[in-house]
Amino acid sequence: MSSIGTGYDLSASTFSPDGRVFQVEYAMKAVENSSTAIGIRCKDGVVFGVEKLVLSKLYEEGSNKRIFNIDRHVGMAVAGLLADARSLSEVAREEASNFRSNYGHDIPLKHLADRVAMYVHAYTLYSAVRPFGCSFILGSYDDDDGPQLYMVDPSGISYMKEMTCRELVKEVAKIIYIVHDEVKDKTFELELSWVGEVTKGRHELVPKDIKEEAEKYAKESLEEEDDSDEDNM
Amino acid sequence: LTTIMAVEFDDGVVIGADSRTTTGAYIANRVTDKLTPIHDRIFCCRSGSAADTQAVADAVSYQLGFHSIELDEPPLVQTAANLFKQMCYRYREELMAGIIVAGWDKRRGGQVYTVPMGGMLVRQPVSVGGSGSSYIYGFIDSNYRSGMSKEECLRFTAEALALAMERDGSSGGVARLAAITEAGLERTVILGNQLPTFFSA
């Protein structure tokens, strides 16, 4: 689906005759073309998974993180232009920090999502700047409000299932493995993080041993499915 | 100056204050209301300079109201207390304000936070303030028990205020009480001649 916005697509401060802002739509394309980011909410926490495409064998494991910590209790997984995403994570961190400084408690996730979304929106209003080419998922967990997940601009996948966080980590790994298109992109590194009762409300990267267990489960499930496909044929 | 007090109980808080405002020896207002609403379920008890505390309370009510609308939920007592602290600490050299913030919120129930002159913030199950408070620390320390009911707290507060108003020249008039719970607000006034009486030399 290609849209031609000749003449009306040069700046974010111009509407097209049919009421679209093409620059914003093009920005969303940057997100669509990037690799997958998932956030899933379960009853006692939230798990993030990101498929990080490895562009070169020279990259060290764990470089170019796409999951960020925004304050202790909030995590952010991104898709799209990584540089744009990094600067937005700084914005989110400042918002969360200023809130705590003014009001004395953790920023509610909805409020944080609103504030960052307002910031992102501001860049779609002027011709002097370009919109952010990334979308992100914010997740948090606390005792009072429970697990919460918010997306800023459509990207990734977000849904809720009834499982514990520990079980969910394996499922997220499995999803990323399934979604990974082997023909299009060769190697990838799985980045996993979680926040929930299991981490006492702190957003952290999933520990190495649990992550390895999850990847093993994911790879085994894929093999099983391959086998069953062959049998049916 | 004043006597003000606040007590936490299971379902909420009880706050109380005297009603005397003085300029020197003259009682400018003998029926003052020192219990000021900051939000639906959050009050503050004001002691110190009437002008300063009124100005700060107005500023905080404004900020809290805005914050509550942004969040689309009732504000936390802790948030109100922090806003008071920020202002009282930042302008500590210019202000003379001793404030007790008390109220009810969904997250932690009834809470009392004291912001004395200088701008410290600390949560306490019972707090007293103002010039009259010095005379009742002994009474508070020996008579407070945790787990009191609302009625017991009201009685406790009324007795404490009565004792302070009897001894402190800057406190007197009527005793104003309020009980704040999830259900709402109940304000009472105890007139001078109806206050609990104790031995007087």
ipTM of the complex: 0.77
**Residue B126 located in a structural domain:** yes
The C-alpha atoms of residue B68 and residue B61 are separated, in whole angstroms, by 10
Between A88 and A161, the more confident residue is: A88
The residues near A42 (Cβ < 8 Å, ≥ 6 apart) are: A147, A160, A161, A162, A163, A164, A165, A167, A168, A196
* pLDDT score of A1: 45
**Confidence band (pLDDT; 50, 70, 90) for A64?**
confident
Q: How many Cβ atoms are within 10 Å of A5's Cβ, its own excluded?
A: 17
Beta carbons of A177 and A98 less than 8 angstroms apart? no
The C-alpha atoms of residue A104 and residue A101 are separated, in whole angstroms, by 6
Q: Per residue in A119-133, pLDDT tens?
A: 888 888 888 988 888
* pLDDT score of A41: 85
Question: Which residue of A95, A100, A101, A103 is the best one to mutate when testing the B interface, meaning the one whose CB has the most B CBs within 10 A?
Answer: A103
| Most confident residue range from A9-23, A39-53, A108-122, B4-18 | B4-18
What is the tally of structural domains in chain B? 1
**Residue B200 located in a structural domain:** no
pTM over 0.90: no
**Residue B197 located in a structural domain:** no
**Which of B2, B21, B53, B79 does the annotation list as catalytic?**
B2
**Residue B131 located in a structural domain:** yes
Beta carbons of A147 and A41 less than 8 angstroms apart? yes
Give the E-state strand segments of chain A in sequence order: 37-42, 45-53, 67-70, 74-80, 134-142, 146-152, 157-160, 188-196, 204-205
* pLDDT score of A181: 65
DSSP-derived 3-state class of residue A220 = helix
The C-alpha atoms of residue B195 and residue B175 are separated, in whole angstroms, by 8
Q: Which amino acid is at A24?
A: V
Touching check for B78 and chain A: CB below 8 Å?
yes
Which range among A13-17, A71-75, B22-26, B124-128 shows the weakest confidence by mean pLDDT? A13-17
The C-alpha atoms of residue A170 and residue A187 are separated, in whole angstroms, by 20
Between A52 and B149, the more confident residue is: B149
Residues in A touching B78 (Cβ below 8 Å): 104-105
Distance of CA A128 to the CA centre of its chain: 27
**CATH number, domain at B92?**
3.60.20.10
Give A195 to chain B, closest Cα distance, Å: 21
Residue B2 is a catalytic residue: yes
**Residue B201 located in a structural domain:** no
Question: Which residue of B66, B71, B83, B88 is the best one to mutate when testing the A interface, meaning the one whose CB has the most A CBs within 10 A?
Answer: B71
Which range among A97-101, B60-64, B68-72 shows the weakest confidence by mean pLDDT? B68-72
Residues in A touching B85 (Cβ below 8 Å): 104
Strand pairing report for A157-160 and A37-42: parallel
SS3 percent helix, strand, coil of chain A, rounded to 5, is 40, 25, 35
Quickly tell me which residue has 């370009």 as its tokens.
A130
Distance of CA A78 to the CA centre of its chain: 4
Q: And the tokens for B136? A: 């009742």
As a whole number, mean pLDDT of residues A111-117 equals 87
Q: Per residue in B139-155, pLDDT tens?
A: 999 999 999 999 999 99
What separation, in Å, do the N-terminal and C-terminal C-alpha atoms of chain A show?
34
Instruction: Kindly determine whether residue A105 and residue B78, on different chains, have CB atoms separated by under 8 Å.
Output: yes
Cβ-based contacts under 8 A for chains A and B: 23
Question: Could you give the percent of chain A with pLDDT greater than 70?
Answer: 85
User: Could you tell me the residue range of the domain that residue B171 belongs to?
Assistant: 4-190
**Residue B22 located in a structural domain:** yes
Q: And the tokens for B170? A: 């800057």
DSSP category for residue A199: G
Q: Per residue in A145-199, pLDDT tens?
A: 888 888 776 323 333 334 567 777 877 877 777 777 665 666 788 888 988 888 8
**Residue B16 located in a structural domain:** yes
The angle formed by the CA atoms of residues A217, A167 and A149, to the nearest 5 degrees, is 120
Largest separation between any pair of C-alpha atoms in chain A: 64
**Residue B66 located in a structural domain:** yes
Give A111 to chain B, closest Cα distance, Å: 6
Distance of CA A199 to the CA centre of its chain: 19
Touching check for B68 and chain A: CB below 8 Å?
no
DSSP-derived 3-state class of residue A145 = coil
